[in-house]
Amino acid sequence: MYAVCGAVSKADHEKVQADLESEREGTKETKEDLKKETKLRKDAEKKAEQTEAEIAEIKEEKEKLDAENKKIADEAKKKASDLATTKKTVDKLKADLEKEQEAAAQAQTELAEAKERADAAEKELEVKVAEAEQIAIAAEEAKAGAEEIIAEVEQKEAALEEEVSKQKEAKPKGESAWSSGLCSCCAPPGGKGLCIKGFLCPCLVVGKMNADLKLDGSAPCPGGCPGGCCLGCCCLPCYMCKAAPIIAEKGGKGEGKWKACLCGMCCPCCYVTQVHREHLLINEGGGGSPKAEAPLQETMGEGGEGAEAKPKPEKAAGSKWSTGLCKCCAQPGGVGLCCKSMLCPCLITGKLNGYLQEQEVPACKGGCKGGCCLGCCCLPCFMRNAAPAVATLAGIEEAKCRACMCGLCCPCCYLEQVYRESLILSAG
């Protein structure tokens, strides 16, 4: 029993051993197959990686080709647009060339016409030259005749001056320029009424006097009665310095400007009534004016030189500046210059000193600023230097003493007069 069991167990054991061997061989074959499959799989993975790399390279090359194709297409479009623009430019140049050709043809035509006109103008010029020669001959003849007439007029003027000088010499030295005395306040015409007006409201007398003088253009102040009433009464010595000599000259007598200015300063009311009374006498029929004006009218009528003979009485009156001392609103400057000199004279002194500095003859140092500050502090001293300098530039004479006195007695009017002369010199 045990032997049978042992034999069976041995047979089973051998069978198991045989199965185990066969399984081992199968396992070995399976491992070898597995190794082959692993190798094949690795080879396949390598091929797949190589294929993916090739695909990526192909994609990149394709993208590059697409970009190049797009770039080429853009360049082609740009070249096409440039070509169209160039074609338009060429067409425009052709049109411009045609226009220039037409303009050149027109210019040639105009040149031919201009040449014809030039020939005609040259012929006319020759005719004009001949006419000018004839006119020159006639002008010489007229000049000779004019010189003869001037010589005759000069002789008559010399005779007239001699007659006037004889009349002046024959005039008594102590004769007064006025028909009534300075203290004859209630003398006619005017009487007590004129006396009361002269003392209580002299502006009315000055306004009436200025309105009467305006009729013959000799009024010291503009604006007639209102101008004399306002401006004349503001600086009465300056007004009388101008008005009194004019009225005295109308009466055939003489009155100095300095005397008139001093009388207007010391006893203004008496002097205003005295001068106005003389003016009333002349207007009522005093014989002074016709006698004084008759010789001048004869000279103008006989000599035919009215424009030259008319200014001579102004020179005789002693006015050296282009505008009078009392012409406060005269041009250039006008009312604006008058207001500046009355309200803020430093502006005028500054500009006047600046002008003199440009001419290298300043009245004080510092140009415009120096004239505005230093010049206005002592106006008589400033005008003592400034007025003669401006007068020298204008070709006239002005004494330093007279300039100082005018700057002291009537500073605003004198400053206006000198500055107005500088404006005339600048404009000229």
Quote the distance between the C-alpha of residue 343 and its chain's center.
25
pLDDT per position as a tens digit, 16-53 = 888 888 888 888 888 888 888 888 888 888 888 888 89
Q: Is the bond into 222 cis (omega within 30 degrees of 0)?
A: no
Q: What pLDDT was estimated at residue 388?
A: 92
Q: Which tokens sit at 232? A: 């004349």
DSSP string, 180-196: S-TT-TTPTTTHHHHHH
Q: How far is CA 349 from CA 296, 328, 353, 359, in A?
A: 41, 16, 6, 15
Whether the Cβ atoms of residue 371 and residue 363 lie closer than 8 Å to each other? yes
How far is 397 from 15, CA to CA, in rounded Å?
A: 167
* pLDDT (tens digit per residue) in 290-331: 333 333 333 333 333 333 333 333 333 344 788 888 888 888
pLDDT in tens, the chain (428 residues): 777 777 878 888 888 888 888 888 888 888 888 888 888 888 888 888 888 898 998 988 898 999 989 999 998 988 998 999 999 999 999 999 999 999 999 999 999 999 999 999 988 888 989 988 889 898 888 888 888 888 888 888 788 777 767 765 554 544 566 888 877 778 888 887 888 888 888 888 888 888 888 888 888 888 778 877 887 777 888 888 888 899 888 887 888 888 888 888 888 888 888 888 888 888 876 444 333 333 333 333 333 333 333 333 333 334 478 888 888 888 888 888 988 888 888 989 988 889 988 888 887 887 787 778 887 788 888 888 899 999 999 999 888 888 888 888 888 899 999 999 999 998 87
User: Per residue in 133-150, pLDDT tens?
Assistant: 889 898 888 888 888 888
φ/ψ of 310, rounded to 5, equals -70, -40
